Amino acid sequence: MRVTFLGTSSAVPTRDRSLSAVHFKYRGTDFLFDCGEGTQRQFTHAGISPHKLDAVFISHEHADHMLGLAGLIQTLNMQNRQQELKVYGPIGIKRYVDFFKTLGGLKLVYPVTAIEINGPGKVFENLDVEVHAFPVNHVTECYAFKVVEKVEANLDKAKLKKLGLLDSPANRQLKEKGEIEWQGKMIKLEDISKPLKKPLQVAYVIDSRFDESIIRNVEGVDLLVIEATFAEKERESAKLGGHMTAREAATIAKRAKAKRLALTHFSSRYSDDMSILKREAGEVFKKPVFAEDFMTIEV
């Protein structure tokens, strides 16, 4: 899994940091998490093609996380994209996407579909991954996302033989769908198999106060990408604005036993000196990564 930061600033861009946008790639799957203003330009600088995007996941409807959708949709249209682009976000995202699709009299040559998220659960699935959404504690409806690798199942041949499935073409359906009806019974994949390996997991948590529920939802992830907007001396400001401090973010990572931590979404007040954020996070979690625009992390 490859995670590339296209924007790492909160609220307003700085000289060196654009607004929130994180590109995710695994095998043939390409995602974008949030799409701040100017994201289409960041794709160009990063050397990543937005034409390969399967979906965009918008955490919430604040401008610094979604205004770039307008430019991205229009750029892809001018470049004659044909593949459907799916945009996932909280209830209300559809009205913004529909507006961006027609802004300035635009006539799309490719389909753009908005899917509104209404509560926690799996929101996307293909042959490579699943994407799960869960709500976080911001000043408006906001979701975090967790990408879970789909791993090939190691089927138990003895159990398959007992069920009469050993040489059946239904095996493939069982692997792809996770369950099938067989001889009047529902057979679930987990009942007759073990995963060949533990699936990789990457979580994206942005714009949230410190909340115990986040710890439960990101437990054991291979990489936690999470906001660290303020230092501890600004904790009250963080709380009022629905944000976290670097120490709070590191605490979530430690308590969730995340294998790696990447901090992002930094207030512009630290644009010239990140040392206090690095010190406070580093006191809690060993070797946190402080994301910079165009940084890539391999998982």
Angle at 194 between CA 188 and CA 198, to 5 degrees: 120
User: Residues 34, 54, 64, 211: which is the catalytic one?
Assistant: 64
Give, in order, the Cα–Cα distances in Å from 227 to each of 32, 235, 260. Answer: 16, 13, 14
Catalogue all structural domains in the chain, each as residue range(s) with its CATH number.
Answer: 2-151+197-298 (3.60.15.10), 154-191 (no CATH)
Helix (H, G, I), strand (E, B) or coil at 261: strand
Q: Is 64 a catalytic residue?
A: yes
The C-alpha atoms of residue 280 and residue 296 are separated, in whole angstroms, by 23
Tokens of 52: 């390969």
Average pLDDT over residues 26-35: 97
The string of pLDDT tens digits covering residues 220-274 is 999 999 999 999 999 999 999 999 999 999 999 999 999 999 999 999 999 999 9
Q: Residue 195 pLDDT > 70, yes or no?
A: no
Helix (H, G, I), strand (E, B) or coil at 277: helix
The C-alpha atoms of residue 9 and residue 48 are separated, in whole angstroms, by 20
The string of pLDDT tens digits covering residues 4-25 is 999 999 999 999 999 999 999 9
Q: Residue 155 pLDDT > 80, yes or no?
A: no
Is the pTM here over 0.85, yes or no?
yes
Measured between its terminal Cα atoms, the distance across the chain in Å is: 5
